[in-house]
Chains A and B, each alone.
Chain A
């Protein structure tokens, strides 16, 4: 079993969207996946109900367990999910304010679980913009490695929250699968 915890100090960076995208990517590859939605907003839970047509249940024997945490580092659920993580994935956008918060989240992971592989993933990247081109520079501001795979700002990712894998075009699928492969390569 592999535990992947997605966290961020602030909301709106795409933790729940990424949780669902990873859930779908691993599921497409034939893995059993379970999401622990510990965010009181419950986005992942609602999305899972729409995609699978069933109330989400925790599968304790799943190959991959994804922990979607509240947008707070003070919350007990975030700390608990980080403690149990094999991979702690700090989700951020290329915006400077988000990168600063990402560094705090990385330090939080390092203080709570030294054995976890901490990585930063850049979400909502627009390569044609200044911030998008500076992602590699932004990655140097955080004290753990960043994944070379980034997720672009795509509308189909928002559709995937309700429709799942079928909402993604082939380029988006490739991007998400590359992220899934990158995560599996860490352990």
Chain B
């Protein structure tokens, strides 16, 4: 294959990638990475703004109550994975906030029932109860 025809192939492949635009809701328009990276956000003012936002939005009288429940190793691994993903989104989390977020997302249905059955299979107390 001549170098000219190879060059044509490369150009047509580049054009193909440009045509196959992945759907990006809310994504910025095509900006080269170098340009996008150059727009570094200001650091100090942003930190101040975040602090003041926390102070304002802090709910009054909503302290919550400590609860005790059982987590297996694989449950804690799931919490860690969710926390790691949130960290990738720039969120600083605790186990408590991760679990509370997951609870808010949960929807009843077949998948939830499957997940419950999976979890209940590991539940030692339930096994004891069934055996008794």
Contact = CB atoms under 8 A, between A and B. Distances in A.
A174 B13 contact: yes
A interface, size bucket: 35 or more
Interface string B28-68: 10111110111010000000000000000000000000000
Nearest to A84: B85
B24 A59 contact: no
Contacts of A79: 77, 81
A151 B32 CA distance: 26
B37 A59 contact: yes
B18 A29 contact: yes
B77 A76 contact: yes
Interface string A45-88: 00000001010111111111000000000001101100110000
Interface residues of B, number: 36
Contact of B30 (A30, A54, A83): A30
Contact of A30 (B24, B32, B81, B88): B32
B37 A174 contact: no
Given A57-B37, A171-B6, A76 B81 contact: yes
B26 A61 contact: yes
A76 B80 contact: yes
Contacts of A80: 81-82, 84-85, 88
What secondary structure prevails in chain B residues at the interface with A? helix
Contacts of A77: 84
B33 A32 contact: yes
Contact of A177 (B17, B22, B37): B17
Name the residue among B21, B22, B30, B40 with the largest chain A CB count within 10 angstroms.
Answer: B22
B14 interface: yes
Interface in A149-170: 170
A62 B14 CA distance: 18
A180 B89 CA distance: 25
B17 A181 contact: yes
10 tightest Cβ-Cβ pairs between the two chains A and B: A29-B17, A177-B13, A2-B22, A184-B20, A170-B6, A80-B84, A61-B28, A80-B81, A80-B85, A1-B24
